[in-house]
A = this chain, B = another copy of it.
Amino acid sequence: MTSRGPSKRVRKAPAERRHEIVAAAAHVGLTEGLECVTLRRVADELGVRPGLVGHYFPAADTLVAEAFTAATMADLDSLLPERPDGPGGDDTPRAVLRRFFTLTSSTEFDNVSRLWLNARHLSRYRPELRDHVVAQELLWCGRVEQTITAGTESGDFSCADAWASALRILVAVDGASAYINTSADRRGAPIVHLARAVAETELGLGAGELAPI
């Protein structure tokens, strides 16, 4: 059980404490939504007083923005490894994309879909968050582009403009996940595979070549 009374105060190095706060904020944002990333909610998560969180983040917007980046960065590397054939698995670009589409359409990814939807809307009001979201969008798109380029060079894919194709593939992914809070039960419907189909078209592959094995 979590400690009830005012626990003995623990003094930590600023860098460590700050990192701890961002991690807690990322967890709250991922599971409950970025609107719930408040000084009080994050402080509760850590068992500290709200004032402490406010001390490290004089503007709450900064905490929300960093929470988003922390949460999405974690998924990025697992979904799209920086070097498709680097250490940690000699996956072919085709295998990487296959895994990408399998994971992004699984229910494990639902909270991540919610987070992106959340962040893209909240960016309307919070400029600092907006900057972080734009940066992540570019990062993800670049990572997909890397994978496509690698596949084109190895002869697996046939693609004239890797960046444009990456853009279109991500549009399809984001479109499919837009309904996560409303008509998510329609997932079994044709929309789940739209992103995969778009990718196959973009990369000159036959239908089903990026489907899970």
Contacts and interface: CB of A to CB of B under 8 A. Distances in A.
Interface residues of A, number: 39
A116 to B, nearest CB: 8
A125 B34 CA distance: 12
A131 B131 CA distance: 32
A114 B130 CA distance: 14
A173 to B, nearest CB: 7
A171 B167 contact: no
B189 A164 contact: yes
A117 B120 CA distance: 8
A118 B201 CA distance: 31
Q: Which of A114, A118, A124 has the most C-beta atoms of chain B within 10 angstroms of its own C-beta?
A: A124
Given A167-B191, A171-B176, A181 B114 contact: no
Contact of A175 (B161, B173, B190): B173
Contacts of A138: 183
A17 interface: no
B167 A134 contact: no
Interface string A138-159: 1000000000000000000000
Shortest Cβ-Cβ A-B pairs, 8 listed: A175-B175, A171-B175, A164-B190, A121-B121, A124-B181, A123-B181, A174-B178, A174-B175
Interface in A160-213: 161, 164, 167-168, 171-176, 178-183, 186, 189-191, 194, 198, 201
A161 B175 CA distance: 20
